[in-house]
Every structure is written in structure tokens, then in C-alpha cells.
Amino acid sequence: MPVGGKKQSPVVVELEEATVISKVSGREWDVSGAWNRMFQPRVLSDYSYSGGLGKVAQLDGGETLEYCYGCGKCVPVCPVDLVSEYGPRKIHRKVQTGLDLFASDELWMCTTCGNCLRVCPKGVNMIQIMPAVREVAVGDGKVPDELQGIFEKTFRYGNALGENPRRRHAWTKAAGVPVRVLGSDPTPVDVLFYVEDYWSYHPRGQQAAQAFARTMARVGVDFAILGAEEKTVGDSQRLAGEKGLFDALVEDVTSTLAKYEFNRIVTPDPHAFNALVKEYPKRGFTYDVLHYTQLLSPLIDRMNFVNPINKKVTFHDPCYLGRHNGEYDAPRKLLKAIPGLDLVEMGRCKENSYCCGGGGGGMWLDGFNSNHVSERLSERRVREAAGTGAEILAVCCPYEVSRFEDAAKSTGNEHLKVMDIAELLDEALGGSEGL
Amino acid sequence: MSNEVLVINERVQGEIPDLTFELIGKGRELAQALGGSVSVAMIGDLSSLDAFGGADKVYTVEHPVFGSGYSAQAWEEAVAEVVAVARPKVVLFGTGTIGIDLAGSIAYREKAPLASYVVDLKVEGSDVVAVSQLYGGKLLAESLLEGETVVATVIAGSFPSEAGRSGGSPEVVSVAAPKSLDSLTLRPVAVKEPEKSGVDITAADLLVSVGRGVGSQANIEMLQELADALKVPLSASRPVIDQGWLPKPHQVGKSGKKVKPKVYLAFGISGAPEHLEGMRSSELIIACNTDPKAPIFEVAHYGTTLDLFDLVPEILEKLEA
Amino acid sequence: MKIVVGMRQLADLVEELEVADSGVDIDRDFVKFVSNEWDEAALEEALLIKEQVGGEVVVVALDEPDVDQTLYSAIAKGADRAVKIVGVEEGWTPTRLRAQLLAKYLESEGDWDAFFTGVQAADDLDGQLAGLIGASLGVAHAAVVSKAEPEGPALRITQELGGGTLAESVAEGKVVLGVQAGRQAPRYAPITRIRQAMSSTTIESFEAPEVELGPGPKVRKLYPPESKGQATMLEGDPVEVAEKIVEIIRTKGLVR
């Protein structure tokens, strides 16, 4: 792959002219390679099963790479392929012809967004293949520096930012409403608000957390947080290949949860949501889990909107809420409920939504991958959002505010404001006023 | 028991370092307060003996072993012998390799208190008060050193060196080499001057320097691009070198090179004392670090807390325009 | 070769450090403790030697906050045994005390060839560990080591003398080294392996013996340096700040 990630146009090398005249009808038949090569037996002399493909296919989770028959449907829907030479089918072919995926930079480019799996007729599952191969690479210590730092911080402090666990609930001070911490008041609660890393520590995330806490208070939700006891659920670390770290987090998270009585867990982080819904049950821990938009959307009639937002707004579907877990309506219902708000859709939305680049560890690999892409996925997405004429890009995944704000600046789209749906709701409901 | 202040010369070969003169200068001040004299211990290489006009006495130790290089053990035995002869009130080391090697063991052998990373010293009655820089310069500790002999290791650049250079003619006392120098288990082999490489960060008028804040090797590319655009070498602080992200000749600081460019651009460098030692005499320092409390801002002339990843591309753009 | 590596925990410098009410120590309740980064370099160098010539690597540390994690990580990276010196009073342990306790442990361990530790730690006010241990054991020592390579039964040691000058010496017999940087950056310990270490390794305990602590500096106060605030902060967004920086360089005549 060229450094700089410039796209190369395909080179056509075979198209001999060949026609045959039928002795029966006299009609001319085209027998050139243009259409009939697929009927000819081909010898793959450069194909070593034991070298690349076999090694991947033997892995728990790597089996489906073998299923690929090269149709290529995955390539045009792959968000990474649009800005680089990476594409799932290309990976299959390269591995087939000897690429050592375990040591390749391309191993770290997949964001596990899941769009290839959606269109794959053979069920080649990159969401399992990539973490499986990465797990081996991690075991051999072949981890990009940036990611290694994140793993170490997560293991040590329970959050990817390496922040002090004791400051996890520092954001509550400026929330404007009381936020109960279960450690100091362990009475049963309806909703356990699982804040996750970026809403706990990132300055823009904290604003969204405060906005969401105010909204819950306004609509009368009984909620509490774990505070210093909270650790990340760890889904992105798992997908980035640190399964051991994920296992350790599952133990810590579930033993903390076992200490308290609550009816359901609500989280703003689609990645945490995904793990709690799909991965934790595999290990014997099942909870009633909602994304925060799913908690709020049935409560719209309790919302007393005082400030209309007369703006054109477009919405970015998070991969792990939409494609991975099928929730496309809850965030849209909330946005449409806000008076004055004009929701416009981007070309790529819902099932075919474009990835922000943050999933599967991509959040922590921007520097590493920058040599291989012509622009960040977040930058491409922001340009698409700006193209709708929207003034606000609404999001509901904690990774996205910082990613898209950076991208808006770097693409010259500063006029596009990036806001979490929690912030938009809070603004429409009066913000810190009248609590 | 004397009230002598003994300075350990931090020279293995080459010129006498500034640091030694800083210690002599400060030593004079302490000696005046204590009513004593200042002396210097010179081990092995006795050249430039006449440089020590600022001292009252120079102790010398000679032995063939010093001709073959540097051994911490050999120096320890020699310095211990000088201390035994001089019975000083204060022993001053620099926070260089020799100081880090020997201060602890000499203090231990002499049953003397020791303060490291000292940036200020004064006499209080018959005791010495030291101010030390701890936690990478984030905190200062003021401590009292009591005893017949006390030891301190001083960070380079803490005191002016001019005071230690004034002219006089010190008495030279030759100290007999201790027997232990004949049976070393840590044998000196060689002293190697730095390899001359393509880059010479000490000769540049402008330096782009990068620190731990850059995060990873891949990100260094961007700073390299900036250095290339300015046609200057890229230099770095110790963590970057230790990680293997840039080769050793690029290192600025105590264990690297001392630089004095006209402009020093520091990106993602927090400013540990060891780094500041290598660059604080630059004419103009511009620092970029997201932590507004980073010690680099103490020595920088201009600063910004913007993220270097936001700032550097903009500088590049301005330069290309 | 049997190498013992001394490791320790240290307040994380990324954190704001606050001075405790006593005025002579940091507030230890609200800081994170991490492994001293130079100790990690010492461990790496020891592991490299073990990989080259075989032998054993033992890690030893005083019982300090989160030290188990550091010791298990060391096992996951390839150390053979981990020892914790227990029964030491919590707080700011003088390096001299640390050295005396480790020296007692090393005497009990007996047959070691080399002791490696980090060249320094950010709070070792009363001296650096390697020199103090060397002196208390009467063993040769060297600090600011950037390379230690086996040469038969001996170790060839490279020290940095500053300004890029290197000093080489050969240690025949026991030696104590303060390591500045290893030949390579410390390796990554996958969490799976750390967890395996946690379940399959027992950290040995060594009861801290009574030692008589010699004289040391008496800390009278600990305080943040007065900010000279010398730097003029450049205000504005990246574009504006970039413009100012380029302008400054330009006025110095260093760029067209």
C-alpha cells in the first residue's frame, strides 16, 4: 500500500480478442477473457494455504475468512476502502497469496463497523476474524505503540484515558442536579447509569453526561452511578485484540454490579451496550440493558420543551447501536420530538451508515493508521454531513463528539456544530435553567 | 574536624565541566559562612590543574587504573580516600554520572546525610540546608543536613559558574592512592567519544524538539516533516530516545547534548530538570504542551497549551504559504 | 546468570501532586502509584541477558500500593520469581532504608550475580538506590548504565558520562547496576499472560528485618516551586498561534 493512502486505479491486463464463428448458425461468438475466464480452471501457483490463510482459519473466530469466494460486494461498502487500499476481499486475497496478516499494518485498519458482513453472501465475519488475529499479535507483543499505551492504562486504571479512577464522577459537581453514587448510598435504584470513559473524563463528554443527568431528573427517572467503582466494559479493547484484558474487566465489572440492586443498566456508549447485550451473557452475566436513547424515547411525552431549536440537523448512526444492534429509531424519535428541529438524512445512513473510524480500537490508532489513509474516516463523514446543509451534526456515541469536532476543524467545516442528542434535548428542555 | 567544603570534580577526560566551577563558586559561599576553605578533588587526569584558582586546595589522586577509562569503583575508592584525608564538613557532587555513582556510597561510608537534586544550599548555624527538586521538578523539598560531614548532589545550572573561576593559586595536596585500586572487580576498559553522525544538533540555529507527548513513533513523522520544512535537525528528549523512536545523537539533555540554538521549539516536552539542563541557554524557547503546569513553561519565552497535533499542521501550512 | 531486579512504586507524575497536611510529604491518598519507569528498563535489560545466556531473573520490591500488578507484569514478561518485602511502614520510604532492606534480602538470597534497578526515582531525595545498596553490601556498583552485556561469566557495562560520551567497564564478580535505559524499550506484557501469572505464581514474602537507619536529610517542608510564569502564552486557535510562531522564527531570520 502506498504511503499516503492514495487510491490506485485498477490495471486491466487481460482482454485478448477472440471470436469463433459457429458452423451451425454462422453467428460470431465472443470467447475472449472478457466473459468466460470463470469457466476455465485456474492454477493458483502463488497460493499457500499453510502460510497465510490456514493460519488465520485455524484460529477460533478466524474460520470464516476461508468462506470468501471473492465476489467483492464488501469492498464498496467498506468505509476504510474509500480512503485507502484496504478492503475485506483484498485482505482475503492478500492473505491467500502469502500476506502475513499477523505482522501487517493492515491488521489494525479494520474498525469492525460490520458493513461488509451485512452484504456478504458467505458470512465472512471480519468482526471475529480481526480480533482473533489481533489477539495472536498482541500475545506476541506486536502491538502499535499507541494501542499498547491504551491497554496498559485500561488495565491499570480501568479507563482508556489513564485518568484517576477516583475522579470518575468529577463531572457530577457541575451537573446542576444531584447524582447519586451507589458506593455512598447503596439503596436499590431503577436505572444504573453506566457512564463509561469518555462521558466520565473527556471535557465534551462530561457536558453530555451532565445534560443527560438533567434530562433524567426532569423526566423523573430514578438513577444512580457507580462513581469510582466503575470500570470500562471494555468492548473496544476486546475488538482491538486484548481479550485477556476484556476477561479481566468482565470479572471486575460483574462483581461490582453484583453488589447493588438495580432494574436496568443505561449507557450512552454503544460499545458498552454491545458488550453488555452480546458478550457478557456468553460469560453468564445477563442484564436488562438500554442505550440512553432507548430509555428516553418512550418518555417524550413527559418532556416539556421550552426552547425550540430552529436548526437543520443531520444524524450519524453509531455502528454499534445501528448496524450491530438494529436500533435506528430511538435517536431519530428524540430528534424529531424537539420543536423546530429539521432532521435531514445523509446519503449513507441507517444500515449503510458510514463509520466514524473509532470502533474496534480505531479510536486509538489514528496516528498509526495515518500513513495508510488519504483522510480520516471522521473527516470524510463530516464532509458528508456538511454536504446536507445541516448546521448541527447530532451524535449519540461518546467517541464521536471529539472525533467529529476535530474533523470539522481539519476539513474547514467549523460552522458544523457537533452535539450529542443528550445536549440537544437538554438545551430544548431549558438546560441548567429552572431545575 | 574542619569546616572545609570539598568539591568533587566531575571530569573523566576532556575539559573541566562548568558544573565543577558552579560547585566551587557555591562552595566558596558556604565556606565563608562556615569559616572554612574550599577544596577540589581531582581524580586521575590532572591536566588543567591551574583552572582551579577559585579553590584553596586541590587534592589529587593518581593511579595507572585511571588511564584505562572510568570505573565507578575506582573513583569511589579514590574519593573516599580524599574524604578521609580532608575530613570536610561538606562534600559537593554534581548530579551527573559521577555524582549519581558516588554520592550515595560515599555518604553511606561516611555515615553522612545526603541530599540529591539540590538547586539551593545555605548554612544555618553549623548545619546545611538544601533545597531539592523532586518529582520531576513538580515539588521542592527543603531539608536539614546535620552531622560532621554532609553530602549534596547539585543539579547543573543551579549556580553561576563565574564565581568558581576566579584566580588564585591553590595548594596542591597529593593523596596516596589507596591499595584497593589494585584489586578492582569493576575494571575500566575504555571511554568512547560520541560517534560522529550525520546530524549535529549542537550546530543548528533552530531546533525542532519532540518529547513524550508525541505519543508514538508514527507521530514523529509529522515533526520530522516540520523539521524538514525548516531545514533543521529534529531533536528529542530522553523518553523519545529510550523508546527507540529516534537515534541517540538526537538527544538533548543531561545524558544527551547541550544545545544553544537561537530558537528552540519544544513540542510535547514537559521539561524534566535533566532536559532543561541541556537547552535552557537557548536564546529563545517556544514550548507547546497541553499541560499548562508543565515545567517547560518556566524556562520558555513563549508557550501554548494547544495540542501539538492541531498546531504543527498549521505551522507547516504557514511555512508552505 | 542470576539477576535480581529491584522494582518500586512511585506516585504517577501525570497526576497533580498535593502536599499532605504534615507539609513534609505528598498526599498519598489521592495519587495513583505506578511502577518506576527506570526499573522497567532495568527489568528489560535483565530479561535480555537471560535470553542470551540463560539463568534466572528474580524481581523484588517493597510492599507498596499496587505493587502486585508490577510484580505480576514482570513475571508475565519473563521473570522467574517475584518477592515482596513486607512489614515496612507505609509512606515515603527513604532510599537508604530501601537499600538496607534490599541488601538484607540479597544476603539471604545469596547466590546472585547481579542486582539491577532503575538509575533513579523521582523522590529519592537521600540518594540513588544502586550506590546505596552497593555501599551497604560492599559490592561494586555503577549507575546511568545504558547497556549490560554478558561476556563469559562477567558483564560488560556501558555508562553514559554525559554529552554522549560512554564509559565501558567490565564487572568480574557481583555487581549492582542503576539502569538508565535498556538496549530496547520495555516489552509489552499481554494481559492474558499477566492474569496467568496471577493464577499460577505466588509472590514470595520476605519479612522486613530490623535495620538501623543511618543519618539522612530531615525534610522541613515540601512545596511547589513558585511559578516564575516566564512564558508569554500565545492565545488563539491553531491557525493564529501557528502564525505567531512562524512570525517569531522569521524575525530571528531563521526562515524566509
**C188 and A164 in contact by Cβ < 8 A?**
no
C-alpha B79/C-alpha B64 separation (Å) is: 16
**Cα–Cα nearest to C150, from C47, C53, C40:** C53
Q: Is C232 on the interface with A (CB under 8 A)?
A: no
Question: Domain residue spans in chain C?
Answer: 2-207
Strand B284-288's sheet: what is its strand order?
Answer: B234-236, B206-210, B263-267, B284-288, B302-304, C232-233
Give residue A3's pLDDT: 46
Question: Residue A255: helix, strand or coil by DSSP?
Answer: helix
B262 is in an annotated binding site: no
* Structural domain harbouring B286: 206-320
Determine, yes or no, domain membership for B262.
Answer: yes
Cell numbers for B177: 592512592
**Cα–Cα nearest to A273, from A315, A225, A236, A223:** A236
**Chain C residues with CB-CB distance to A151 below 8 A:** 188, 191
- For an interface test with A, the pick among C192, C195, C198 (most A C-beta atoms closer than 10 Å) comes out as C192
B212 is in an annotated binding site: yes
Together in a domain, B166 and B229: no
Query: Which amino acid is residue B211, in one-letter code?
Result: G
Q: Is A279 on the interface with B (CB under 8 A)?
A: no
**B219 and A144 in contact by Cβ < 8 A?**
no
Together in a domain, B283 and B223: yes
Domain count, chain B: 2
Asked if the domains A38-139 and A303-428 are classified in one and the same CATH topology, the answer is no
Determine, yes or no, domain membership for B196.
Answer: no
H/E stretch holding C73: helix C67-77
Question: What are the DSSP calls for C179-236, one per residue?
Answer: ES--SSPPPP--HHHHHHHHHH---EEEEPPP-------EEEEEEPPPP---SEEPPS
**Chain C residues with CB-CB distance to B73 below 8 A:** 140-142
| Region B85-95 average pLDDT | 96
Q: Is A102 on the interface with C (CB under 8 A)?
A: no
C-alpha B200/C-alpha B194 separation (Å) is: 11
Together in a domain, B121 and B43: yes
Q: B135: domain CATH number? A: 3.40.50.620
Q: In C87-121, which positions are buried (b, 16+ CB within 10 angstroms) versus exposed (e)?
A: ebeeebbbbbbbbbbbbbbbeebeeebbbbbbbbb
Residue with cell 516564575: C228
Together in a domain, B82 and B212: no
Together in a domain, B55 and B102: yes
User: What's phi and psi for A51, nearest 5 deg?
Assistant: -70, -70
Question: Domain residue spans in chain A?
Answer: 38-139, 164-297, 303-428
**C192 and A243 in contact by Cβ < 8 A?**
yes
Determine, yes or no, domain membership for B18.
Answer: yes
Say what angle helices A203-218 and A421-428 make with each other, to 10 degrees.
50
Query: pLDDT tens digits, residue range C121-131?
Result: 999 999 999 99
CB A241 within 8 A of CB A206: no
H/E stretch holding A253: helix A243-257
Determine, yes or no, domain membership for B51.
Answer: yes
* Higher local confidence (pLDDT), C117 or B96: C117
Is A430 exposed, middle or buried (CB count within 10 Å of its CB: 0-12, 13-18, 19+)?
middle
CATH of A303-428, one of 2.30.30, 1.10.3470, 2.40.50, 3.40.50: 3.40.50
State the sign of the Cα–Cα–Cα–Cα dihedral A93, A95, A96, A100: positive
Note the CATH number of domain A38-139.
1.10.1060
Together in a domain, B95 and B211: no
Look up residue B178 and give its DSSP letter.
P
- Written as tens digits, the pLDDT of chain A (435 aa) is 444 455 666 555 554 566 778 888 888 877 666 555 565 555 555 666 776 888 999 999 999 999 999 999 999 999 999 999 999 999 998 998 888 999 999 999 999 999 999 999 999 999 999 999 999 999 988 899 889 989 999 998 899 998 888 889 999 999 999 999 999 999 999 999 999 999 999 989 999 999 999 999 999 999 999 999 999 999 999 999 999 999 999 999 999 999 999 999 999 999 999 999 999 999 999 999 999 999 999 999 999 999 999 999 999 999 999 999 999 999 999 999 999 999 999 999 999 999 999 999 999 998 888 878 989 999 999 999 999 999 999 999 999 998 999 899 888 898 999 999 999 999 999 999 878
pLDDT bin (cut points 50, 70, 90) of residue C174 is very high
Query: What average pLDDT does the structure give for chain B?
Result: 91
Determine, yes or no, domain membership for B111.
Answer: yes
Q: B234: domain CATH number? A: 3.40.50.1220
Fold of C2-207: Rossmann fold (3.40.50)
B252 is in an annotated binding site: yes
* Chains interfacing with C (3 or more CB pairs < 8 Å): A, B
CB B278 within 8 A of CB B264: no
Together in a domain, B170 and B271: no
Q: Which of B167, B182, B197 lies at the terminal end of a domain, its last residue?
A: B182
pLDDT bin (cut points 50, 70, 90) of residue B42 is very high
Task: Report the 10 Å Cβ neighbour count for A205.
Answer: 24
C-alpha A116/C-alpha A74 separation (Å) is: 4
Together in a domain, B53 and B148: yes
Query: pLDDT tens digits, residue range C112-148?
Result: 999 999 999 999 999 999 999 999 999 999 999 999 9
**Cα–Cα nearest to B195, from C41, A356, C163:** C163
Cell numbers for C207: 519479612
B169/chain C closest Cα distance in angstroms: 29
Residues 1-20, chain C: which have Cβ within 8 Å of A?
A: 14-15
Polymer length of chain C? 256
- Where does A102-196 show beta strands of DSSP type E? 180-181, 189-193
CB A245 within 8 A of CB A275: no
B238 is in an annotated binding site: yes
**Cα–Cα nearest to A362, from A216, A199, A146, A181:** A146
**Chain A residues with CB-CB distance to C74 below 8 A:** none
**Chain B residues with CB-CB distance to C11 below 8 A:** 135
Together in a domain, B225 and B161: no
Give residue A36's pLDDT: 54
Question: Residue A123: helix, strand or coil by DSSP?
Answer: coil
pLDDT over 70 at C231, yes or no? yes
C-alpha A183/C-alpha A228 separation (Å) is: 8
State the sign of the Cα–Cα–Cα–Cα dihedral C60, C62, C63, C69: negative
Determine, yes or no, domain membership for B197.
Answer: no
Fold of A164-297: Rossmann fold (3.40.50)
Per residue, the 3-state secondary structure of C13-48, as one string, reads CCCCCCECCCCCCECHHHCCEEECHHHHHHHHHHHH
A236/chain B closest Cα distance in angstroms: 20
* Chains interfacing with B (3 or more CB pairs < 8 Å): A, C
B255 is in an annotated binding site: yes
Q: Which of B124, B148, B182 lies at the terminal end of a domain, its last residue?
A: B182
- How many Cβ pairs closer than 8 A exist between chain B and C? 297
Least confident of A152-156, C199-203, C230-234: C230-234
Together in a domain, B174 and B48: yes
In chain C, what is the greatest distance between 2 CA atoms, to the nearest angstrom?
Answer: 69
CB C127 within 8 A of CB B104: yes
